[in-house]
A and B are shown apart, each in its own frame.
Chain A
């Protein structure tokens, strides 16, 4: 047993760290640190910088730009990227639709979509959830009726993250209404410019505009845009969801947030001393750090096991999702407590619009913290709610 990285792994870490330090645009780094929203250009530019280095899609097959890294290298790369802090490559492209096309798509689809997907020439969004199909995803109703060499799609998707930027949407649609729940579903790639698609924003409790409803009204989709076989879409969706294994813990991101928390707590004074010297505050912070260290070790155990098991999906990743989201939330909670009375002013322009140049009410660093707290309630809901993760663990690990 030896929990240290090898010399090669350390050298790799230094290389990644140096790349992040020198190539990440300073403006983007600052926005993330300050909790201000990234705009589309920030994300696209950064992904292209990564892609030029060959690091945008390291998890893909080598012939489509993957790196054939070990699970430990994958871990190091993501950990360093999150701690930089840099935006993660767009998950919808890199972790979701890309691997599905690479695994189940035909040659024409791979050639057409994968290079653009890696370079974020196409921005993808995810059309899975529906108003009536949340945790019970397989009850989805959006229909795709075959008419000659096209499907006609009708229905509604929801919680579609950043659909306002998207060029394409990958959708689960029902192609056989008579079949049993999971078996009548297909996986379609739909151009967002197709007539009949309407995107409507959903404003979340923090005031943010991340998610949308997407309506399909007689939207015509060429049959060649179906991935894999008709009515096998559920299998591809399961592959997609099982793909996200250890990154989900977001340990690197939480480490960066803890650093920020400490910086601010050293600055903000309560009475005659900074908050960081307050016993109760410090105990709360230390409690988060202990949980985070334990999660990091748990993640490394899963990573090491993945290396041995040839990267098969591991239900322990549900533990990472649960713990990781709880820790992220507890950090935003402590940031909220740190900001104190300056949680009150609601200043969305300051955090959303980089051209906004009026000074905020209260300290500059305060404006994003209360919205961040409200926004991060999402992390225990999306990607399979923590209750669903409990069900998965109960079944797959405990054998109930």
Chain B
């Protein structure tokens, strides 16, 4: 049992943290946010130079053969910096779907481009009616000879506006909420019949609504076996949830530190307000919530590679519950303990709060995952 990072992992951590500390002060972040893509293309190139974008891919595809721990390190650093670049959308989600589900040709063609920063991907999956039900796919994929034709509307596609290609889920057969019958298709953002409308999300990131009208997909752009994509989607979403847990921990840790620092410097009634016991105890509650979240984020990371699918899924679901609950407590208390300044757009802490709030709503909130854990029979195994 060992919670330590390896030498290489520590190096990755140091370099990504150093880069972000250098490039991501709060004011600079605003300029990235105002850029057309909502993030910094220049930094994206630097991540590629550092090897971050190819981290999880095999060496034969130009990657570094990293595992879940490496992804966790990057995600946590992103959380701490409130980084805006589409690491989750492109590397974890898009790259994950290709890595686990793509053919050798598809992987050889695309993974190196993710790694060198020249290809942005987005996962076009959620729909208006689906809420958090992963199998709820109404977009249709109709066979037309050897091709498929896609029709439907995808919503909340993370970084869908900047993406070069979409990974689109669509139903080949079965009822709308059935897990069997879902296919996954690689679609060029500029393909005939694809339109998109980008917007900012509540946490300052970007997403898009994507419409597909009679979009033709050639056989070589089908990912995996047609109709059997659900297991792949679930696996990659579990990986994304684990990464989001780590990102939330980075954001929570930053809120915790900012708040303790504020309590020690802000003076009222002639003394630092951190001398008041009621405020100290709140800060302790934040710390406890953070440590519990960190524990579960670590566990989720280790479960990404678990072969037993049911075990993997329910444990990662449990982590998402903890992250949602801890994030709410830490975020709300961070604002409360800062008082008025915590309410202002120009101060950093509120932006962390918004990010952890957004993370809770992504791929299932705490209540959704709590029900998943319950349905799976809980975590304490029978004797």
Contact = CB atoms under 8 A, between A and B. Distances in A.
Instruction: Please determine whether chains A and B interact with each other in the same assembly.
Output: yes
Interface of A: 1-6, 9, 72, 83, 255, 258-259, 262, 279, 282-283, 285-287, 289-295, 297-298, 300-301, 303-305, 316, 319, 322-323, 387, 390-391, 393-394, 397-400
B371 A294 contact: no
Contact of A293 (B275, B283, B299): B299
B3 A291 contact: no
B280 A394 contact: yes
25 contacts: A1-B3, A3-B298, A6-B1, A258-B380, A279-B374, A282-B371, A283-B367, A283-B370, A286-B370, A286-B374, A289-B318, A290-B296, A293-B318, A298-B291, A300-B3, A301-B298, A303-B1, A304-B2, A316-B291, A322-B288, A394-B280, A394-B283, A397-B287, A399-B264, A400-B280
B253 interface: no
Interface residues of B, number: 45
A336 B260 CA distance: 38
Contact of B374 (A1, A4, A255, A282): A282
Contacts of B275: 400
Interface string B87-113: 000000000000000000000000000
B292 A390 contact: no
Contact of B379 (A292, A298, A300, A319): A292
A293 B379 contact: yes
Given A287-B321, A294-B296, A319-B288, A300 B1 contact: yes
Nearest to B288: A319
Please name the 4 residue pairs, one residue from A and one from B, whose CB atoms are nearest each other, closest first: A297-B295, A282-B374, A394-B280, A286-B374
B318 to A, nearest CB: 5
Question: Per DSSP, are chain A's interface residues mostly helix, strand or loop, or mixed?
Answer: helix
Contact of A301 (B264, B284, B295): B295
Most buried by A among B291, B293, B318: B291
A258 B2 contact: no
Contacts of A304: 1-3
Contacts of B375: 282
Given A1-B4, A298-B291, A255 B380 contact: yes
A262 B274 CA distance: 43
A393 B318 CA distance: 26
B268 interface: no
B69 A1 contact: yes
A379 B121 CA distance: 52
A323 B288 contact: yes
A375 B295 CA distance: 30
Interface in B260-293: 260, 263-264, 274-275, 277, 280-281, 283-285, 287-288, 291-293
A305 to B, nearest CB: 8
Contacts of B9: 1
A292 B274 CA distance: 30
Most buried by B among A3, A259, A290, A322: A290
A5 B1 CA distance: 5
A279 B260 contact: no
Given A1-B4, A286-B373, A398 B382 contact: no
A218 B5 CA distance: 60
Interface in B47-89: 69
Contact of A2 (B1, B293, B378): B1
Nearest to A322: B288
A342 B283 CA distance: 40
A259 B1 contact: no
B302 interface: yes
A294 B292 contact: yes
B140 interface: no
B139 interface: no
Contacts of B373: 286, 289-290
A9 B1 CA distance: 9
